[in-house]
Amino acid sequence: MNDPFNFLAFQRSINRRTFLGRAAYGLGGLALASLLDPRLVRAAAAEENPPRWKGIINPPHFPVRAKRIIHLCMAGGPSHLESFDYKPELKRINGQPFPESFTKGQQLAQLQNTELKARGPFTEFRKHGNSGQEISDLFPHIAEIADDICIVRSMHTEQINHDPAHAFMNSGSIIKGRPSMGSWLLYGLGAETDNLPGFVVLTSAGKTGQQPVSARQWSNGFLPSRFQGVLFQSKGDPVHYVGNPDGVCQSTQRQIVEEINRLNGILAEDHLDPEIQTRISQYEMAFRMQTSVPELTDFAKEPQNILEMYGVKHPGDGSFASNCLLARRLAERGVRFIQLYHRAWDHHGEIEKGMTSAALDVDQASAALVQDLKQRGLLDDTLILWGGEFGRTPMGQGSGRDHHINAFSVWMAGGGVKPGLTWGSTDELGYRYVEDDQKMHVHDLHATMLYLCGIDHKRLVFRYQGRDFRLTDVTGDVAKGIVA
Amino acid sequence: MMIAARSWLRLAPLTLLSTIASTSGAATNQIQFNRDIRPILSENCFACHGHDKNQRKAKLRLDVRDVALEKEAIVPGKPEASKLVEHIFSTDADEIMPPPKTHKTLTAAQKEMLKQWIVAGAEYEPNWAYIKPKRVAPPETKNSQWVRNPIDAFILHTLESKNIKPSAEAGKRTLLRRLSLDLIGLPPTPEEIKAFLADNSRTAYEKQVDRLLASPHFGERMASPWLDLVRFADTVGYHGDQNQNIFPYRDYVIASFNRNKPFDQFTVEQIAGDLLPNPSVEARVATGFNRLNMMTREGGAQPKEYLAKYAADRVRTVSMAWMGSTMGCCECHDHKFDPFTAKDFYQMEAFFADIKQWGVYQDYGYTPNPDLGGWSNDHPFPPEIEVDSPYLKSRIDRLEKLVTNIQAAAAQKLGRDKERKKAFDQWSRESREFLKVWPSGWATPTPEVTVKVKDTNSVAATNFSVLADSTLSFSDNPRESVKVSLPVSNMWLSAIRLEIVPQEVPEQKRTAMKKRNGTAFALSATLKSRNGKDRKLPFYFGEADHKAERYANGFAIIGVTSLWQISTQADRQTAVWLLDKPFHTQEGDVIEINLGNAAVTSARLSITPFPAADPLRSGMGPAIAAALSRSPKSSDLLSRTYLLTTAWDSDFHLQARKLQEEIRECRHGRSPTMVTVPQKPMVTRVLARGNWQDESGEIVDPAPPHFLPQLADPSTNRLTRLDLARWLISTENPLTARTVVNRFWKQFFGTGISAVVDDLGAQGEWPVHPELLDWLACEFMTPSFPRTNKGKSSSPQAWDVKHIVRLMVTSSAYRQVSNERPELKEIDPNNRLVAFQSPRRLEAEFVRDNALSIAGLLNEEIGGPSAHPYQPPGYYVNLQFPDRDYHAEKDERQYRRGVYAHWQRTFLQPMLANFDAPSREECVGNRIVSNTPQQALTLLNDPTFVEASRVFAANLLTSNFQSDEQRIDAAFARALSRAPKVKEKQSLLEFLKSQREYYTPNAGEAAKLIKTGIAPAPAAIKPPELAAWTQVCRVVLNLHETITRY
Q: Express each pLDDT in B251-265 by its tens digit.
A: 999 999 999 999 999
CA distance A175 to A193: 31
A-interface mutation test, from B362, B928, B1025, most A Cβ less than 10 A away: B928
Q: What per-residue confidence (pLDDT) applies to A223?
A: 87
In B, minimum Cα distance to A466 occurs at B763
* B684 phi/psi in degrees, rounded to 5: -115, 130
Identify the helix (H) or strand (E) that includes residue B512. helix B507-515
Average pLDDT of the residues in B1005-1028:
96
d(CA B561, CA B530): 28
Query: CA-CA distance, A326 to A342, in Å (whole number)?
Result: 14
- The answer to whether A341 and A201 are in contact (CB under 8 A) is yes
Amino acid at B985: K
8 Å CB contact of A266 and B1041: no
Angle at A235 between CA A233 and CA A240, to 5 degrees: 45
Q: Which residue from A32, A212, A273 is facing B878, i.e. has the nearest CB?
A: A212
Asked if pLDDT for residue B4 goes beyond 50, the answer is no
**What is the amino acid identity at position B200?**
N
pLDDT category, B300, cuts 50, 70, 90? confident
Looking at residue B599, what is its pLDDT?
67
Give B-chain residues touching A203 at CB under 8 angstroms. Answer: 877-878
Cα–Cα distances (Å) from A438 to A88, A131, A151, A384, A441, in that order, read 22, 18, 12, 20, 10
Mean pLDDT of B864-878: 94
The terminus-to-terminus CA distance of chain A in angstroms comes to 54
- φ/ψ of B790, rounded to 5, equals 50, 45
Q: Would you call B930 an interface residue with chain A, using a CB distance cutoff of 8 Å? A: yes
Percent of chain B residues topping a pLDDT of 70? 93
pLDDT of residue B26: 38
Return the H-helix or E-strand segment holding B426. helix B418-437
More confident residue, B511 or B712: B712
Which residues in A364-407 belong to E strands, given as ranges? 382-387, 391-397, 400-404
Asked if B212 has any chain A CB less than 8 Å from its own CB, the reply is: no
**CA pseudo-torsion sign B382, B387, B393, B395:** negative
Question: Which of B320, B380, B446 minimizes the C-alpha distance to B759?
Answer: B320
Condensed to tens digits (0 to 9), the pLDDT of residues B500-527 reads: 876 655 555 554 444 444 578 899 999 9
Q: Give the tens place of pLDDT for each residue, A345-402.
A: 999 999 999 999 999 999 999 999 999 999 999 999 999 999 999 999 999 999 999 9
> For position B715, what pLDDT does the model report?
64
Average pLDDT, chain B: 90
Measured in whole angstroms, the distance separating CA B1035 from the mean position of its chain's CA atoms is: 31
Q: Are the C-beta atoms of residues B728 and B267 closer than 8 Å to each other? A: yes
Interface touch B1010/A459, C-beta < 8 Å:
no
Question: What residues 325-344 of chain B have any CB closer than 8 A to a CB of chain A?
Answer: 326, 328-329, 336-337
- Cβ contact A110–B1010 (<8 Å): no
DSSP three-state, residue B447: coil
Phi and psi at B493, nearest 5°, equal -105, 120
Q: How many angstroms separate the Cα of A462 from the Cα of each of A32, A179, A197?
A: 11, 10, 21
- How many Å apart are CA B233 and CA A120, to the nearest integer? 44
Cα–Cα distance for residue pair B751/B830, rounded to 1 Å: 9
Examine residue B1024 and say whether the peptide bond preceding it is cis (omega within 30 degrees of 0). Answer: no
pLDDT (0 to 100) of residue B490: 87
Which among A216, A74, A367 has a CA at the least distance from the CA of B906? A216
Contact flag A466-B877 (C-beta cutoff 8 Å): no
User: Distance between CA atoms of B1029 and B992, rounded to whole angstroms?
Assistant: 7
Question: Which position has the higher pLDDT, B502 or B910?
Answer: B910
Considering only CA atoms, which of B503, B507, B480 is closest in space to residue B599? B480
**Pick from B377, B533, B524: which is nearest to B882 by CA?**
B377
Provide the 8-state DSSP code for B338. S
CA distance A480 to A264: 51
Which candidate from B240, B328, B821 shows the least CB-CB separation from A212?
A: B240
Virtual torsion, Cα A295, A296, A299, A301, nearest 10 deg: 60
Cβ–Cβ gap A240/B1005 under 8 Å: no
| φ and ψ at residue B746, rounded to 5 degrees | -60, -40
Q: Annotate B63-117 with DSSP letters as a single string.
A: SSHHHHHHTTS--TT-GGG-HHHHHHH---TTT-SS-GGGT----HHHHHHHHHH
Interface touch B1012/A246, C-beta < 8 Å: yes
Q: Could you say which of B298, B905, B991 has the minimum Cβ distance to residue A259?
A: B991
Q: Which range among B551-560, B617-626, B823-832, B905-914 shows the weakest confidence by mean pLDDT?
A: B823-832
- Summarised one tens digit per residue, pLDDT across range B784-841 is 988 765 556 678 899 999 999 999 999 999 999 999 898 998 888 889 999 999 999 9
Q: For residues B356 and B677, is the Cβ–Cβ distance under 8 A?
A: yes
- Give the model's pLDDT for residue B29: 63
pLDDT at B883 over 50: yes
The total of other beta-carbon atoms located within 10 Å of residue B734's CB is 24
Question: What per-residue confidence (pLDDT) applies to B334?
Answer: 87
Question: Cβ contacts of residue A59 below 8 Å, gap of 6+?
Answer: none
Helix (H, G, I), strand (E, B) or coil at B757: coil
pLDDT in tens, B362-375: 999 888 899 998 89
C-alpha span between A358 and A342 (Å, rounded): 9
Residues of A in Cβ contact (< 8 Å) with B750 = 24-25
What is Dmax (Cα atoms) for chain B?
116
Question: H or E segment at A255?
Answer: helix A250-270
For residue B296, name the pLDDT band (cuts at 50, 70, 90).
very high
B486-502 as b/e: b if 16+ CB within 10 A = bebbebbbbbbbbbbbe
d(CA B526, CA A357): 44
Contact A233, B872 (CB under 8 A): yes
Work out the pLDDT band at B422, boundaries 50, 70, 90.
confident
What's the pLDDT tens digit per position in B163-206? Answer: 999 999 999 999 999 999 999 999 999 999 999 999 999 999 99
Q: What SS3 state is found at B575?
A: strand
Q: Check residue B21 and give its pLDDT.
A: 32
- Gap from A380 CA to chain B (nearest CA, Å): 31
pTM of the model: 0.88
CA neighbours closer than 13 Å in the CB half-sphere of residue B937? 28
Show residues of chain B in contact with A162, CB under 8 Å.
Answer: 239, 298
Tell me if A25 sits within 8 A of A18, measured CB to CB.
no
Average pLDDT for residues B331-347, to the nearest whole number? Answer: 91
Alpha-carbon torsion A32, A37, A40, A41, what sign?
positive
Task: Give strand pairing partners of A167.
Answer: none
Across the interface, of B946, B983, B1035, the residue whose CB is closest to A266 is: B983
CB pairs under 8 A between A and B: 313
- Name which of B670, B524, B545 is nearest B614 in CA terms: B545
| Preceding omega of B39 cis (within 30 degrees of 0) | no
In sequence order, the 6+-apart residues with CB closer than 8 A to the CB of B535 are B526, B527, B529, B583
SS (H, E, C) B144-179: CCCCCCHHHHHHHHHHHHCCCCCCCECCHHHHHHHH
Q: Are B914 and B935 in contact (CB under 8 A)?
A: yes
Helix axes A250-270, A4-19, angle to 10 degrees: 40
DSSP B45: T
Chain B interface disruption, residue of A49, A202, A279, most B CBs within 10 A: A279
Cβ atoms of residues B458 and B565 within 8 Å: no
Distance, in Å, from the CA atom of B907 to the CA atom of B919, rounded to the nearest integer, reads 8
Beta strands per DSSP E along B756-799: 787-789, 792-794
User: Looking at residue B34, what DSSP letter applies?
Assistant: I
CA B56 to CA B973: how far, in whole Å?
62
**DSSP secondary-structure letter at B798?**
T
What's the rounded Cα separation, in Å, for the pair A355 and A122? 10
DSSP string of B274-294? GGSSS--HHHHHHGGGGG-S-
DSSP, collapsed to helix, strand or coil, labels residue B346 as helix
> Lowest-pLDDT range, A5-9, B580-584, B953-957, B1017-1021?
A5-9
pLDDT per residue rounded down to tens, chain A (484 residues)? 333 333 333 333 333 333 333 333 334 445 445 554 545 544 544 444 445 788 999 899 999 999 999 999 999 999 999 999 999 999 999 999 999 999 888 888 888 888 899 999 999 999 999 999 999 999 999 999 999 999 999 999 999 999 899 999 999 998 888 999 999 999 999 989 988 999 999 999 999 999 999 888 998 888 877 888 988 987 677 888 999 999 999 999 999 999 999 999 999 998 888 889 889 988 998 999 999 998 999 999 999 999 999 999 999 899 999 999 999 999 999 999 999 999 999 999 999 999 999 999 999 999 999 999 999 999 999 999 999 999 999 999 999 999 999 999 999 999 999 999 999 999 999 999 999 999 999 999 999 999 999 999 999 999 887 888 999 999 999 999 999 9
B 760-779 → A contacts, CB under 8 A = 761-765
Using a pLDDT cut of 90, give the percent of chain B over it: 69
Is residue B861 within 8 A of residue B249, CB to CB? The reply is: no
- Tell me the per-residue pLDDT of B525-540, one tens digit each, with 9 for 90 and over: 999 998 888 999 999 9
For residue B882, say if its preceding peptide bond is cis, omega within 30 degrees of 0. yes
Of B476, B481, B466, which is closest to residue B505 (Cα–Cα)? B476
Distance CA A381, CA A373 (A): 10
pLDDT band at residue B477 under the 50/70/90 scheme: low
**Contact flag B755-A276 (C-beta cutoff 8 Å):** no
What is the residue type of B926? N
| ipTM field | 0.89
The Cβ of residue A267 has, within 10 Å, a number of other Cβ atoms equal to: 20
